[in-house]
Amino acid sequence: MRAAGFSLSFTAASLPLPSTSTAASSPRCQSHVSFRCSQPRQRRSGVVRALDERLLAAATPAPAETEAEDESGVGEIEDGGEREGRDGEADIVGPSEAQEQPKSRRRQQQEEEDAAAERARFKLINGKEIFQEKTYLVGVECKRATGDNFSIEESLKELEQLADTAGLMVLGSTYQKLSSPNPRTYIGSGKVAEIRSAVQALDAETIIFDDELSAGQLRNLDKSFGGGVRVCDRTALILDIFNQRAATHEAALQVTLAQMEYQLPRLTKLWTHLERQSGGQVKGMGEKQIEVDKRILRTQISTLRKELESVRKHRKLYRNRRQSVPIPVVSLVGYTNAGKSTLLNRLTGADVLAEDKLFATLDPTTRRVLMKSGTEFLLTDTVGFIQKLPTMLVAAFRATLEEISESSIIVHLVDISHQLAQQQIGAVDKVLKELDIDSVPKLVVWNKIDNTDNPLRVKEEAAKQGIICISAMNGDGLEELCNAIQAKLKDSLVLIEAFVPYNKGDLLNDIHKVGIVERTEYMENGTLIKAHVPLPLARLLTPLRQHPFSSSSPSSAVI
């Protein structure tokens, strides 16, 4: 079944329905982005083609037909060389009629090529055929914007990757250098005219800007481009990708909330009429349609926030139960497509979706890792970050991102083979700071070392900075990574010496499972143990911290 094509212009039909229960509780929350695609070119009707063929056949008889007529005596060739037809008239083919047949063939070939081109514009994404709309990209390089360190060419290249992930066909791109964006159309009037000409020449259907546009800018750009092309921004594109890849109820809720919050201030561009209906003679005009729609949207946003708050409470209860057996939690963070899911699969044997695409993972996945020393920890894969990450998206995914704040260690995975690796590191650190979780101990790991031009030189540089180099794809450096994680965990643990009676063997088992044991001495009534354990477990062992180690005890065995 073919799905409609990507479109980021909002129409009146895409407004949320007054009922909020469906949008809030559906396993797959509805997107409020409208999807439309261009109509394929019309072909000549079969009746017209058949008539053309009959006329051509009558005008230019084949040689085989001439021979048959000679044998039957219907047509005769006289001494003067004339051949008379059935009605006695000469069968003469004019130059214009002779050219009609190749024209018809060319027309038919062109129609077949057009139909093949239309079929080629469908792309399979997440099991659905998505119509690839023709897209043109626009960026602005502001002279005062130096915070993210991404050049305009690099940013547009990333925008092209996002468009490809969403199932769009990018035909071209352009950018303009400005001291500051134009508050009315974001770009200058001359650039608007240039883009309008390029879009008409390329037959583009969608224009995507690399930065978030205000409602007024979207409305003015729609008018400037004549209304025949859809205008959207980077934020709407990312939201659409998240909507395509949301696989769980929680992710669908979070994406739908972000989309609604994005739509709310932009509803004014959806309506050309302002009045819903007339009121009484005293009350004046009735309620504006835009006010009705905003009220409905605010109601749905409120409902979604309540449901997401319930999700947050559920996650908090789950974390509290998990802390009753305090296994350390290690969270994988990094730029999108850095290889986090591949690393999780390699260390745990999980089957989490790992694709060479942006935002392949939205839902956090946690698996248990057992190291050779017997120590265990939980490894959590989280959603990837990106530069210019929409603010409403960060807020909507706060329940998911809170998993990172509860981690014992954060493993920051970097695609060191990417030419913008350092800029991506800065973008991830910026998001972690915005989430107030930059204080959690962090271990930087360079991934995809096998894709670099000189792996040996990269490893030497990493060693100078105390960074681990791995290849999650082929498994290189994973043992070194696990040792580094264990050493980092040890720094966050508490050193205890406790005497554990034999009737509390479950505590001794927890120490071996989540701690790092340095020494064990088996005595007559219990076990004397020295180990580094998480703080919650250390508190449970406080009443048992009574007996110091004594190597001279005759009834003890030291390990």
pLDDT for residue 557 is more than 50: no
Output the pLDDT for position 491: 81
- Residue of higher predicted confidence among 142 and 118: 142
Output the pLDDT for position 441: 86
Q: What is the reported pTM?
A: 0.65
CB 8 within 8 A of CB 237: yes
Query: Of 323, 318, 319, whose CA–CA distance to 533 is shortest?
Result: 323
CB 35 within 8 A of CB 11: no
Fold of 327-490: Rossmann fold (3.40.50)
Does 1-37+108-325 match 327-490 in CATH topology?
Answer: yes
Phi, psi dihedrals of residue 233, rounded to the nearest 5°: -130, 180
503-506: long-range pairs with CB below 8 Å, 24+: 504/544
Output the pLDDT for position 325: 58
What is the C-alpha to C-alpha distance for residues 438 and 410, in angstroms, rounded to an integer?
A: 9
pLDDT for residue 9 is more than 80: no
In terms of average pLDDT, the best of 136-150, 252-266, 363-377, 397-411 is: 252-266
pLDDT for residue 39 is more than 50: no
Look-up of token digits 């477990």: 537
Print burial letters for 10-37: b (CB count within 10 Å at least 16), e (below 16).
beeebbbeeebeebbeeeebebbbbbbb
Domain positions in the chain: 1-37+108-325, 327-490, 494-558
Residues with Cβ within 8 Å of residue 158, at least 6 apart in sequence? 150, 386, 387
What is the DSSP code (8-state) at residue 389? Answer: -
Q: What's the distance, CA 399 to chain centroid? A: 19
Of 35-49, 267-281, 456-470, 543-557, minimum mean pLDDT range: 35-49
pLDDT for residue 298 is more than 70: yes
CATH number of the domain located at residue range(s) 1-37+108-325 in this protein: 3.40.50.11060
Structure-token pair, residue 7 = 């479109």
Span 462-478, pLDDT tens digits: 999 999 999 999 999 99
Output the pLDDT for position 185: 94
Tell me the HSE value of 547 on the side-chain side, using a 13 A CA sphere: 18
What is the C-alpha to C-alpha distance for residues 293 and 8, in angstroms, rounded to an integer?
A: 19
Output the pLDDT for position 172: 93
